[in-house]
Amino acid sequence: MIEQYSTEWFSQRMGKLTSSTIYNLMTEPKLKSEAGQLSASTKDYLTSKLAERLTGVQREFTSNATNHGLELENEAIRFYEGKTGNKVNASGYIEKIRGLYGGTPDGLIEGGGIIQVKCPYQYSNHINNGIIEGQEYFKKNYKQYYWQCQSDMIVTESEFCDFVSYCPQISDNLKMFIFRIEANITDMELLLSKIQMAGDYLNNLYNKISNEQ
């Protein structure tokens, strides 16, 4: 297994649609007449993926918040194991559609299921994560994370994802909130259809710029 965030891991994901940014496919066009088509922001996202393929350069976004999360991820997983009794195994990049799409869950739960860990840099976000009011609320208000979880469940063929929020600065009973997200077959099918549309768009875009030469 290739270690997450290693040079090889970034290379595997180069130019591909991945769970962490897959929510970009789910924005709707502004015009009602274009409903069901790819939105302008989705096309911008796909253009950036084609640029990665052609240049071999991946502009990964980093910040204090993302670095904070990476530093605490393993600690959070150990705390989750102690809190739930679930054993979590590491996962590398899993390619679901060759050359196009895959994902890397934060961990694979023995016996089934996956884990998605967030360690908020802004502690108020951790508190908000403790009052998630059901899956529809999560889908509406945590769009990026909802589609990331559904995507990783597609990739791993899992039936649930434990969305975990961890803040070690708070007392033990409030350090971790766990919200279980169930696989939604309808949303998974919609996401896969968007991925197919995205693949077609990437191919057509490449052919178009190639034919201009």
Mean pLDDT value of segment 103-126: 96
| DSSP-derived secondary structure letter, 111 | T
Q: What percent of the chain has pLDDT over 70?
A: 97
Mean pLDDT value of segment 65-91: 92
Mean pLDDT value of segment 155-173: 95
CA-to-CA distance for 81 and 205, rounded, in angstroms? Answer: 45
CA-to-CA distance for 205 and 40, rounded, in angstroms? Answer: 14
Asked whether residue 35 carries a pLDDT value surpassing 70, the answer given is yes
Q: What is the pTM of this model?
A: 0.92
Ranges of H-type helices in the chain: 7-13, 40-55, 64-84, 123-129, 135-141, 143-156, 185-211
Question: CATH assignment of 7-211?
Answer: 3.90.320.10
Asked whether 101 and 15 are in contact (CB, 8 A), the reply is no
CA-to-CA distance for 16 and 136, rounded, in angstroms? Answer: 28
Ranges of H-type helices in 85-184: 123-129, 135-141, 143-156
